[in-house]
Structure 1
Amino acid sequence: MAKKWGIAAIILYAVYALAMYFYIFHISSGGIPDAIKGTVADPQTFMTERELYLSDEYSKIRNFLFFVVTPFEWLMYILILFMGLSKVFEKWADVGKWKVIQNGAYLFLLYLFTTVVFYPIDLYRYWLSKDYGIGTQTFASWMRDYVLDFWINFGTTLIVVLVLYWLIRRSAKRWWLYAWLLTIPFAIFMMYIQPVVIDPLYNDFYPLQDKELEEKILALADKADIPSEHVFEVNMSEKTNSLNAYVTGIGDNSRIVLWDTTLKSLTDEEILFIMAHEMGHYVEKHIYVGMASYIFSILIGLWLISKIMPWLIRKFGTILKIDNMKDIHSLPLMLLLISFLLFLSNPISNYISRYQETRADEYAMELTDDPEAAVSTFQNLAKAGLSEVNPPLLVKLFRYTHPPMLERINTVAKFASKESTE
């Protein structure tokens, strides 16, 4: 029976992947509305023919990968259960008398196996970025980051899994609530140490070196009533040609970070607009709103898993080869449900993020009052990242945490028109 279900799952995934291929490459097309053609939002006015071609091609490949890789993860977990691999890992991990050691060994075997399975996909993404002129990172540097990712993610996952299954054994009915309560300080702690412990493992961060530009940024920060000691630059040019800036951390460790690629590619006016945008996030406390939304979504997710997972085990436990939820070999089913729920929640979380980004754009335009710099900034960001300025609706809903560039440039145009009439 498990074999038949496994074959059915593979066929279903293949049909889905084929359907997504035709949707992404042959059916969907964001296009450019007639009212936008010839304006500053039309990519044909600021991108070369080759950039337009590469942008279209690169975006379609990345969109296709997004929509097929996550369901492939679900398929992998299903096959791990159907084929009995999860129980095999549990048997191999039966070392020592302590349950915590056994569960830790099981997680390492499962995590190593899934990493090996996904390595060709991750490697393809690395070479894809290099081929299209986005990535600049050497393979040795990429592998270093890949191994670093493995151990950091494994370490944090280990803590979460060990605590989670300990709670499930102690309280079969309320484990989800206790797990959520523990998540709150853990999430805050991780966000607090992110800028000063984790991020520096990957890149070098240092105070902004251009002192003349720093004075302009500090003046802008003073105008916005923002503490001025949190502006940093990071040497991202060793890894990418893309442009970016972001806000990270909380409390004393919060900081605004500029990529050195941004500093090298944009004018001072454009950089000031980006900084004003990040200041908008700071002023409107988007980090704290995001953290609260994240914690609330975990509560909903854990509650759903506490209801769905036992039902699945009761209904399909024989096929899934799961005896009891409290046994560690049930972990692939939990990871499958987490991945599935996260995928379904993407449109909601992305909508909230796009709203925050729009608010930050509006704040930046009010603070700088320089629509020309705003337009040229968005145009340069699109060129550097080969961005799809007007993606299809499905892609926008599931992938875009920022408004598409066409919308962002239109927001600037509306702001400039409003200002001129006042």
Structure 2
Amino acid sequence: MRKWLTVSVLIYFLYGLFVYWYIYMGADSTLPAQFQGGSADPNTFMNSRELTLSQDYSKLRDFMFFTAAPFEWFIFFVVLVTGFAKKMQRWAESISRFFILQTAVFVFALSLLVTLCAFPLEWLRYKISLSYHITTQTFSGWMKDQLIDFWVNCAFMVLIVAVLYGLIRKFSRKWWLFAWILSVPFSLFLMFIQPVLIDPLYNEFTPLKNKELETKILAIAEEANIPADHVFEVNMSEKTNALNAYVTGIGDNSRIVLWDTTLNKLSEDEILFIMAHEMGHYVMKHIYIGIGGYLVLTLLGLYMINRLMNFSIRRYGHILKLDGKKQLASLPLLLMLLGMLSFASDPFSNIISRHQEKDADLYAIEMTENTEAAVSTFQELTRAGLSQVNPPALVKVFRYSHPTILERINYLEEWGSGREE
């Protein structure tokens, strides 16, 4: 046990050193010469203080992103090799003979342990975001959201784990296939209820007060065949200075939502461009393509998890303190493998997402025909979020589900130039 813990700590430390070297010394985020002095050059729309803050904040945020995910895997690994997962299972079994109650106790204990271990890192993220004036949320407000997150995630985890391990116990070889079949209606159900049940737990949604703007947005929505009678605004200025707008939900529960920070910082033309972009996703069925892609990845992921769990327990079961995958004590192994596979799949899902975001940008510019507003929107998004215009390659590959600001401004200006010709 000591040997494996020592090796895992050493690997994590060396990985952290590599990430630090790459982010702070090895990565290149300079703007190519042909774009310097243009609309995408942050020197043309950000002052010296904003430029410095943007570089510093982006590096901190990227470093914490790359080191946080493996830290959670490390927690699960420690829980397994120390035998703590087995002890939690025995404790859960001693409390009740009913499997659903055993699952609830085990999931609660594991979730609480992981949350407490990860809390210092989450608190550090909050403090960094607060110090750079991205977050405006009070500590009490932040803690409230953390508690809501914990209980909502825990409730869903109990349900999912109970079904998952019920299937594993009944269909040891094909559980992953039955789990995937059940995930289809469950995913659609979550997307349907999220706008009306889950999102309001975190924020208060009210009809857009600016009725003139709402009329213009709904006119675009009608052209896009989006079944919306109202535009909602949400008071995010209590939590952040960042900007956002989105179309969420499916069917009759579709909602068009604007953050009040977006309303306060952008002009009407810029807001209309953003809303046209979000509606572009709806028109081009990106939400359904996303669901389809998610389900394909889920199927592959569950199959791979089954194979990897079988191999890990067969080969290293004595180290992981596991006798088989049917016991609740194997849940940390399942979650660790899930995290690793999700992280490994991010570059592929991000490629598809970036392609869709570009299509939505081009749809929006064709709808609004206002290149100046489109470019100034991305400039303001960069300032508000202290984002990098041209992030390092690995950061873009793993983190960017949208094209970089450099890419977005560049192809929008190319569209405007082509139209003038």
**Aligned partners of 2:228 and 2:256 also within 8 Å:** no
For residue 133 of structure 1, give the secondary structure of its aligned residue in structure 2. Answer: coil
**Contact kept? 1:135, 1:239, Cα under 8 Å:** yes
Which SS does the other structure have where 1:24 is aligned? Answer: helix
Please state if 1:172 is matched with 2:172: yes
Structure 1: unaligned runs, 5 residues or longer: none
Q: Once structures 1 and 2 are overlaid, which stretch shifts more, 229-238 or 392-401?
A: 229-238
CA distance in 2, matches of 1:171, 1:104: 21
Q: Kindly report structure 1 stretches of 4+ aligned residues shifted beyond 4 Å.
A: none
Q: Once structures 1 and 2 are overlaid, which stretch shifts more, 18-27 or 211-220?
A: 211-220
Match of 1:309 in 2: 309
Structure 1 range deviating more: 358-367 or 276-285: 276-285
1:307-352: CA deviations, max 9, x gaps? Answer: 1111110000001110111010011110000000000000011111
CA distance in 2, matches of 1:102, 1:216: 54
For 1:176-195, list aligned pairs within 5 A.
176-195=176-195
1:6 equivalent in structure 2: 5
The answer (yes or no) to whether the contact 1:277–1:363 under 8 Å persists in 2 is yes
Give the alignment of 1:23-422 within 5 angstroms.
Answer: 23-94=22-93, 95-421=95-421
| More displaced stretch, 96-105 vs 318-327 | 96-105
**Equivalent residue of 1:203, what SS?**
coil
Q: Deviations over 1:347-404 (max 9, x none)?
A: 0111111111100000000000000000000000000000111101100000001111
Confirm or deny: 8 A CA contact 2:168 2:326 kept in the other structure: yes
RMSD between superposed Cα atoms in Å:
1.0
- CA deviation after TM superposition for structure 1 residue 295, in Å: 1.3
On the 8 A contact 1:281/1:287 being kept in 2, the answer is: yes
Whole-Å Cα distance in 2 between the matches of residues 404 and 114 of structure 1? 33
**How far, CA to CA, are the matches of 1:227 and 1:82 in structure 2?**
52
Output the amino acid matched with 1:110. Answer: L
1:220 shift after superposition: 2.6
2:227·2:254 contact (CA, 8 Å) conserved in 1?
Answer: no
**Contact 2:167–2:178 (Cα < 8 Å) also in 1:** yes
In structure 2, the residue corresponding to 1:401 is in which secondary structure? coil
TM-score (norm 2): 0.98
**Local SS of the residue matching 2:329:** helix
CA distance in 1, matches of 2:298, 2:288: 15
Q: Report percent identity of matched pairs.
A: 53
| 1:218 Cα offset (Å) | 2.4
1:268-318 superposed Cα distances (whole Å, 9 cap, x missing partner): 010110111011011111111111111111111001111111111000000
1:27 to partner: Cα distance? 1.1
Offset of residue 254 of structure 1: 1.0
SS in 2 for 1:206: strand
Q: AA paired with 1:23?
A: Y
Which amino acid is the alignment partner of residue 153 of structure 1? N
Whichever residue aligns with residue 49 of structure 2, its letter is: R
* Contact 1:230–1:254 (Cα < 8 Å) also in 2: no
Specify the code of the residue in structure 1 equivalent to 2:233. Answer: E
Deviation at 1:230, TM superposition (A): 4.7
Post-superposition CA distance 1:3-27 (Å, at most 9, x none): 2011101111101101110110111
For the residue of structure 1 that corresponds to 2:326, the secondary structure is coil
Q: Could you state the TM-score of these two structures normalised by the residue count of structure 1?
A: 0.98
Give me the whole-angstrom Cα distance separating, in 2, the residues matched to 1:26 and 1:273. 37
Q: Tell me, in whole angstroms, the C-alpha distance in 2 between the residues paired with 1:304 and 1:418.
A: 47
- Contact 1:234/1:257 (<8 A) preserved: yes
Residue 155 of structure 2 aligns to a residue whose secondary structure is: helix
Equivalent-residue separation in structure 2 for 1:291 and 1:218 (angstroms):
25
CA contact (8 A) 1:206 1:234 kept: yes
Q: Which amino acid aligns with 1:251?
A: G
CA distance in 1, matches of 2:88, 2:11: 27
Whether the aligned pair in 2 keeps the contact of 1:3 and 1:83 (CA below 8 Å) is no
Q: Is the contact between residue 3 and residue 82 of structure 1 (CA under 8 Å) also seen in structure 2?
A: no
Name the SS for the 1:237 alignment partner.
Answer: coil
Q: Displacement, 1:147?
A: 0.4
Q: Which whole-Å CA distance do the structure 1 matches of 2:231 and 2:286 have between them?
A: 17
Contact 2:203 2:236 in 1 (8 A): yes
Letter in 2 for 1:129: S
How far residue 101 of structure 1 moved from its aligned partner, in angstroms, is: 1.5
Q: CA deviation at 1:260?
A: 0.5
Deviation at 1:225, TM superposition (A): 4.0
